[in-house]
């Protein structure tokens, strides 16, 4: 190993360490903002308050730091791969097979601590919602469309980032007549706004597409916001896609604010 190559690895290692320290400090700031909004949620209603904007900027900064961490880590992996002796194919294969189980254990132990602050914070937030209702994308075999339902979060596996949910509504057919459980990845879970926590409520302007619970059901569908609301806790007036009357018009329906979330990117309906 040449000195210049080793020096570059050390520099990248120091930069990676610096990024993680900055991320930890940023996570503390984000948690402080969360506690402030939870203890005094009415502050966001005051004129001139910038708490939500401040929180947004913190998350943007956390995202940039996470991307920088990924870039530095990728560089380090490339530098180490270039310096490690390749050995014979047989030796290399035996080395991989011999360490496979060890690597798996190490991965499980370190997965949570290696997550970026923003992802780790999201994971912790969802874990704290155990027993509450969330929106979940239920995976169906050969499904051409995304299906979202209101379900209860009953278990969280932080290491695997896997969420077990319970569909409390019985199915229409005899085979699925009872309540069903599903194990889903974090990307298939969306927290629902809390009725008594204004800080968890997003304000969607007229013309914005959202995912909302269709009245009288537990299913969520794509809809568009029709008019502005005066208060965050007011119901939304929505028009659901494919909800046509006989004359072809779209009826406008009222949906409670705690049953409306942002439309996931790439949603299929």
Count Cβ neighbours within 10 Å for each residue of 50-75 and write b for 16 or more, e otherwise: ebbeebeebbebbeebbebbeebeeb
Burial of 123 (0-12, 13-18, 19+ CB in 10 A): middle
pLDDT value, residue 85: 62
Closest CA relative to residue 68, chosen from 3, 21, 6 = 21
Cut 0.75: pTM above it: no
Asked if residues 58 and 29 have their Cβ atoms less than 8 Å apart, the reply is yes
Q: Which residues lie closer than 8 Å to 109 by C-beta, 6 or more apart?
A: none
- How far is 55 from 62, CA to CA, in rounded Å? 11
- How far is 73 from 173, CA to CA, in rounded Å? 50
- How far is 206 from 226, CA to CA, in rounded Å? 5
Closest CA relative to residue 263, chosen from 245, 248, 241 = 241
pLDDT along the chain (269 residues), means of 10: 64 80 82 79 79 84 80 74 57 48 49 63 80 87 79 88 86 61 90 83 92 95 94 93 84 94 85
């Amino acid at each position: 190993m040449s000195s210049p190559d080793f020096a570059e690895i050390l520099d990248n290692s120091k930069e990676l360490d610096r990024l993680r320290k900055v991320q930890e400090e940023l996570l503390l700031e984000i948690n402080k903002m969360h506690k402030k909004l939870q203890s005094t949620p009415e502050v966001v209603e005051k004129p001139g308050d910038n708490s939500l904007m401040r929180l947004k900027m913190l998350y943007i900064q956390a995202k940039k730091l996470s991307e920088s961490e990924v870039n530095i880590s990728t560089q380090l992996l490339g530098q180490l791969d270039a310096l490690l002796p390749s050995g014979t194919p047989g030796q290399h294969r035996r080395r991989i097979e011999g360490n496979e189980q060890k690597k798996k254990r190490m991965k499980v132990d370190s997965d949570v601590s290696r997550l970026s602050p923003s992802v780790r914070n999201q994971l912790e937030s969802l874990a704290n919602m155990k027993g509450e209702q969330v929106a979940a994308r239920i995976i169906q075999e050969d499904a051409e469309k995304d299906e979202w339902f209101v379900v209860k979060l009953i278990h969280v596996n932080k290491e695997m980032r896997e969420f077990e949910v319970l569909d409390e509504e019985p199915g229409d057919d005899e085979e699925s007549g009872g309540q069903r459980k599903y194990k889903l990845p974090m990307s298939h879970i969306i927290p629902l706004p809390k009725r008594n926590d204004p800080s968890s409520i997003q304000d969607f302007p007229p013309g914005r597409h959202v995912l909302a619970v269709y009245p009288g059901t537990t299913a969520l569908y794509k809809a568009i916001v029709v008019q502005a609301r005066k208060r965050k806790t007011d119901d939304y007036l929505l028009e659901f896609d494919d909800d046509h009357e006989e004359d072809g018009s779209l009826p406008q329906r009222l949906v409670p604010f705690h049953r409306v979330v942002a439309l996931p990117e790439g949603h299929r309906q």
